Structure 1
Amino acid sequence: MIAKPTQQVFAHLSGQDDNLGDSALRLVYLDALRGAGRHVHLYLGEATSDFTAGFAPASDLTIHRSRAEWAAAEDATARPVHAFNAGEINPRAGHFPVPRRAAECARVLEAGGALIFAGIGIKDVDTARSVAFDPVMRAASVMSWRDRGSRDGAGFGDVAPDWAYSEGWHVDAWASAEERPLIAVTMRFDRAWPGDDWLAAVRAFAVATQTRIVTVAQVARDAPRAMRLAQALGGEYAMPPSMRHDVLDEYVREVYRRSLAVISDRAHGLIIGATEGAFPLGSGSDPHKISRLLGTVGLGGLVGGYEQFHGFAQRFETHLPTLAPAITSARAEIAALTARIHAAMEAVA
């Protein structure tokens, strides 16, 4: 039997350098691209060591320091697999991807390779009607959005939950509600301060659930707000030992495993918390994005503006039993998406 040559996979997985959610979802995506008989060529943009810490060196992985080098390796490969970046896109009026990137994708298909779009979401779906999505996206081997609003706005493709839902402990290993003494709060630095009524409602929620409040920062720029919130809420800022993403991921997950709920306007604060058994209470000045990402897995019932939090707290207990089934279902959908990606790869191997 003649052995198949190693399949070459090319993934550009850059993200916000100080944002744990950005590296977390991309690490899961990377895992979905790996496997026996494959070698992944990875470009992480201009990321610092904090972001890249989770992308451990391995024999099946080449991390390219320049995009030109990465692109040249792809151009020299017969039937490459091209994995378009996952996460949030913010297309302006006009063409998406930009012509250079669209041509790059088209060359992969012309060479008999596989083109993967998996786990992308539009920042503001209201902009989609003014965007001309390149035909190469419709022709992709896999075209999957991470929320229904993005898919409906674009008008094509299918939907699977954000990659980050597949992380975390198995639901059977979660601590019970009675064994969770904390309420975790993590809020964006670049949104309006929630105000006295919201602060009072959060404090009252902690009293009603017999928990204590801790604040965390999954994004380095959120740390000053987390410290201010801890003081305003009479809680404690849970400061991580390092902002390296591998250390930070382990630290915040340990906090969430002891938390009954996570209150946040950060999508991946809510998602990572949910995967560790902390019920996501989405609360923010502009909750549309978090509503879409949680609604995709059936967890959008307690997501809204600051003024709605008091009502969420009153309904919290009735929603709590829905968390484990939602996460189990989300993980099954992500496993199915991963299987589709593997099938697309096998078809061109």
Structure 2
Amino acid sequence: MSRRIFFWVEGQEHNLGDSVLRRGMFNAVRTAEPLHVYVGACGPEYLSSFTFGHEDVLYRSLTGWYLAALKSSLIRKTHLFMSAGEAIADRRSIPMRVANTLVALTSSLRRGGVYQAGVGLRKPKGRFLLPLKINARAASFVSWRDSWSRDQVGVGSVTPDWAVLEGTNDRELAQRSPGDRITVSLRGDKEWPTPAWRSQIGVVAEALALRPTFVSQVEVDNELAQSLADEFGGDVVLWDGSDHRILENELRSLYSESCFVISDRLHVLILALTEGAVPIASGAQEPEKSIRTLRALGIEGINIDLVSPSESAVSSFEALAGRRSELLEALKNARVAARRTGDALTQRVMS
């Protein structure tokens, strides 16, 4: 075969956002040719989110995957797609950065390449940013899912998070009416929201005649979601060990019935938007990552302070409900940009 394509889909098994965003990229750039895919220790529950061809080769060992890519790059055109999602500039990431750079250098000799698309830096950015900078400069293509990440490294463009490509299509979303739920999905592994924050949910739900609903897209959020459900009543969907496809379908159906989805998790907000709900970025602390990543989609002003609101929370929610068409148009444009990126990457691989 004239070329080989290596792809990374491994992610956190108990975090639905990891599989959704990686699947968005996987589907956007894959061709009919067999892939060499790093899946790590991910079990069938996580991998149910992906459709692999019968000729695709799955790798459990990261070292084995990199060695196979390096060997391939010495004898044929080889393309390697790095992991999308969050990049952490810590000591543990250095070997991976070195391996990516090495494959980038060897693959370039036969007109192959290494591609980093749709990555965002974690804040605080960490003390080991230099290997990531070297990695980015060696890569054939680099894009970030927010401007701050791009500015820290100084290389590449800004493109939407790959998760925007999943979910209901634009035409159906434009015809869908707002739902009657107010859905909440918050981080349970950090500070929980205050009684004042929680009380605002009840106020808004009652004023706007919405059904409180509580969701956990990540296993560590189960306890908080259940606590909120016990406090307010309403429906609750917890992480129960089901495969990612089953849980995703259940949550997408629920988000399609939601007028608002409130979360401090980025991919709760993106999944909600791709099902027609108005995303509200809010939690015990300001969800900085969500705000900067959604800004790259052309979406701003969706964070509402529910801890100490300076005006009526109900008015703030009503104002955002009035922007629903604007938000769906921004999603439509973000999908066009993401598809354009996917097409550009596919063209590079197939040329």
Q: TM-score surpassing 0.5?
A: yes
- What is the alpha-carbon distance in structure 2 between the residues aligned to residue 172 and residue 23 of structure 1? 25
In structure 1, what residue type is equivalent to 2:7? A
The answer (yes or no) to whether the contact 2:165–2:338 under 8 Å persists in 1 is yes
- What is the alpha-carbon distance in structure 2 between the residues aligned to residue 117 and residue 316 of structure 1? 34
The answer (yes or no) to whether the contact 2:180–2:258 under 8 Å persists in 1 is yes
Q: 1:93 to 1:61 in 2, by over 3 A?
A: closer
Q: Which runs of 4+ in 1 moved over 4 A?
A: 93-97, 125-130, 175-179, 239-242
Which residue, 335, 340, 345 being the options, matches 1:341?
A: 345
The answer (yes or no) to whether the contact 2:100–2:135 under 8 Å persists in 1 is no
In structure 2, what residue type is equivalent to 1:80? T
In structure 2, what residue type is equivalent to 1:290? S
In structure 1, what residue type is equivalent to 2:196? D
Q: 1:304 to 1:107 in 2, by over 3 A?
A: farther
Which residue, 50, 63, 81 being the options, matches 2:45?
A: 50
2:185 paired with 1:186: yes
Q: Which runs of 5+ in 1 are unaligned?
A: none
Matching residue of 1:73 = 68
Matching residue of 1:324 = 328
- What is the alpha-carbon distance in structure 2 between the residues aligned to residue 237 and residue 87 of structure 1? 27
Matching residue of 2:104 = 105
What is the CA-CA distance between 1:101 and the residue it aligns to?
Answer: 3.7
Q: 1:86 to 1:178 in 2, by over 3 A?
A: closer
Q: How high is the TM-score relative to the length of structure 1?
A: 0.89
The answer (yes or no) to whether the contact 2:222–2:239 under 8 Å persists in 1 is no
Name which of structure 1's ranges 306-315 and 48-57 shifts more when overlaid on structure 2: 306-315
The answer (yes or no) to whether the contact 2:104–2:140 under 8 Å persists in 1 is no
Q: Secondary structure at the match of 2:191?
A: coil
- What is the alpha-carbon distance in structure 2 between the residues aligned to residue 202 and residue 118 of structure 1? 37
Matching residue of 1:259 = 258
Q: 1:242 to 1:134 in 2, by over 3 A?
A: closer
Name which of structure 1's ranges 193-202 and 98-107 shifts more when overlaid on structure 2: 98-107
Question: How many aligned positions are there?
Answer: 342
What is the CA-CA distance between 1:149 and the residue it aligns to?
Answer: 1.4
Deviations 1:249-269 (A, max 9, x none): 111101011111110011000
What is the CA-CA distance between 1:186 and the residue it aligns to?
Answer: 0.6
- What is the alpha-carbon distance in structure 2 between the residues aligned to residue 305 and residue 93 of structure 1? 35
Q: Which runs of 5+ in 2 are unaligned?
A: none
Which residue, 2, 13, 16 being the options, matches 2:9?
A: 13
1:8-47 to structure 2, matched below 5 A, reads 8-36=4-32, 38-47=33-42
Q: 1:15 to 1:180 in 2, by over 3 A?
A: same
In structure 1, what residue type is equivalent to 2:49? G
The answer (yes or no) to whether the contact 1:95–1:131 under 8 Å persists in 2 is no
Deviations 1:171-195 (A, max 9, x none): 3213867551111111111121111
Q: How high is the TM-score relative to the length of structure 2?
A: 0.89
The answer (yes or no) to whether the contact 1:302–1:312 under 8 Å persists in 2 is no
- What is the alpha-carbon distance in structure 2 between the residues aligned to residue 128 and residue 278 of structure 1? 38
Matching residue of 1:292 = 292
Matching residue of 2:56 = 61
Percentage identity across aligned positions? Answer: 29
Q: 1:148 to 1:13 in 2, by over 3 A?
A: same
Matching residue of 1:213 = 212
Deviations 1:72-108 (A, max 9, x none): 4323421111101110011038996533443233222
Name which of structure 1's ranges 305-314 and 228-237 shifts more when overlaid on structure 2: 305-314
Deviations 1:97-137 (A, max 9, x none): 53344323322223431211101110116548954534342
The answer (yes or no) to whether the contact 2:10–2:42 under 8 Å persists in 1 is yes
Q: 1:100 to 1:6 in 2, by over 3 A?
A: closer
Matching residue of 1:276 = 275
